[in-house]
């Protein structure tokens, strides 16, 4: 369903239902409401220094458990290694999985189809394990 700052805090009718809220970056009132309604905040960022700095400012401002998801990554690059060090140095939790840079991912909103091996399945598995207490 589409949410706004008034409906984002409405709990699902089934308490075992998970609700994922994807907020646009410019709607601070919606972001604040989504954070307030969350059990876990997923902070999404690219490995670029400017994006990491913005994400860090957000991480410091929220009062909920959070984990960082790195997107648009390229394996074995200096940028990815620097991003991982950035997160470690600041004590930020992060997903083991990263979302690789793929042109097909960029076009997926046009086609409505997620490419295979996008990385999001691995992220979902990490979330399920975390919420089920499996390590």
> What are the sequence ranges of the domains in the chain?
1-38, 41-132
Which residues of the chain fall short of a pLDDT of 50? 135
Q: Which residues of 3-36 are buried (b: 16+ CB within 10 A; e: fewer)?
A: beeeebeeeeeeeeeeeebebeeeeeebbebbbe
Q: What is residue 135's predicted lDDT score, i.e. its pLDDT? A: 47
Q: Given 3.40.50.300, 3.40.50.2300, 3.65.10.10, 3.20.20.30, which CATH number is that of 41-132?
A: 3.40.50.300
Its pTM surpasses 0.85:
no
Six-digit token string for 122? 């691995």
Quote the pLDDT of residue 105: 61
Give dist(CA 104, CA 93) in Å, integer. 28
Question: What's the pLDDT at 73?
Answer: 95
Cα torsion angle, 60, 61, 62, 66, sign: negative
Check residue 106 and give its pLDDT: 62
The pLDDT assigned to 133 comes to 72
């Amino acid at each position: 369903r589409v949410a706004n700052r008034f409906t984002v805090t409405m709990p699902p009718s089934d308490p075992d239902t998970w609700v994922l809220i994807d907020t646009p970056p410019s709607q601070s009132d919606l972001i604040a409401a989504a954070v307030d309604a969350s059990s876990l905040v997923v902070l999404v960022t690219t490995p670029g220094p400017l994006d990491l700095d913005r994400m860090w400012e957000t991480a410091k401002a929220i009062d909920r458990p959070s984990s960082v998801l790195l997107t648009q990554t390229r394996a074995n690059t200096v940028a990815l290694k620097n991003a991982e060090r950035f997160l470690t140095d600041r004590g930020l939790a992060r997903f083991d999985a990263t979302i690789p840079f793929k042109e097909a991912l960029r076009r997926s909103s046009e086609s409505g189809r997620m490419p295979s091996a996008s990385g999001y399945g691995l992220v979902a598995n990490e979330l399920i394990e975390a919420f089920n207490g499996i390590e």
